[in-house]
Structure 1
């Protein structure tokens, strides 16, 4: 079976290449500016360090990185909002029921804690630096996601 790029990418690949370039430049900028790999999974802990006196949230790694993590995460949200506003696309673009999104998000959050990082941290920064733990995590993400999708499809579960 031949791979048909026109089917996979009906609008071309240039916007994906440009997006990848921007992600790579941002990742390098964050690393050079802070010495920390970019990733969104510690955003909650670092943000809670502003308002909570609990020892867990006052760890040096959270307090030290909280300012740039707020900017980083805000940029993700504002970038998506700006794109949506400028493109005229709908703000809600999925047919998946909200409860399924909630359950999926909860499972992703649990996986992020168990895997000690998120897909952006492991997938972009960890793989880019050839970290063995990140390569293993990304392989696990992909295999579990593909297996779950196939299992749900086989069970007749549709979005």
Structure 2
């Protein structure tokens, strides 16, 4: 299967999972919110969040097992910078009250103006950061 077909299938599966979660539970498939709900649990909220995360990780692991060589880690990134980047992403999702999955997949699908502004901010920041890392630093 070609790369674009795999990307299309992945996008369809993400959209289907987000739609089913909203339809069946009334919950938004924002990964940062789902993880946050597992880390700071509330009664009745942990089981579905844990199941969603296990499915998310399990599906990725199954894909890597079924398609050997599908993922090759990039070299040359110091672990300290990767940890710092992860922490900054976490801070940004908290500050933006959601992540790319919540705002980009679910919010845009619901025509949320706030999500549209958040996605524009995410994308502009990503473009600027990539430019700086590749051409300035």
Question: Where on the TM-score scale, by shorter chain, does this alignment land: which range?
Answer: 0.7 to 0.9
1:94 to 74, 80, 102: 74
State whether structure 2 residue 103 is matched by structure 1 residue 122.
Answer: yes
CA contact (8 A) 1:49 1:66 kept: no
Q: Gapped runs of 5+ residues in structure 2? A: none
What is the RMSD computed on CA atoms of the aligned residues? 1.9
Q: Gapped runs of 5+ residues in structure 1? A: 1-10, 51-57
Q: TM-score, normalised by structure 1?
A: 0.76
Q: TM-score, normalised by structure 2?
A: 0.88
Q: Which runs of 4+ in 1 moved over 6 A?
A: none
Q: In 1, distance between residues paired with 2:3 and 2:135?
A: 31
CA contact (8 A) 2:96 2:118 kept: yes
Instruction: Mark the structure with the bigger radius of gyration.
Output: 1
Report how many residues are paired: 135
CA contact (8 A) 2:35 2:49 kept: no
Q: Which residue of 2 aligns with 1:81?
A: 61
2:123 to 130, 142, 150: 142
Query: Greater helix percent: which structure?
Result: 2
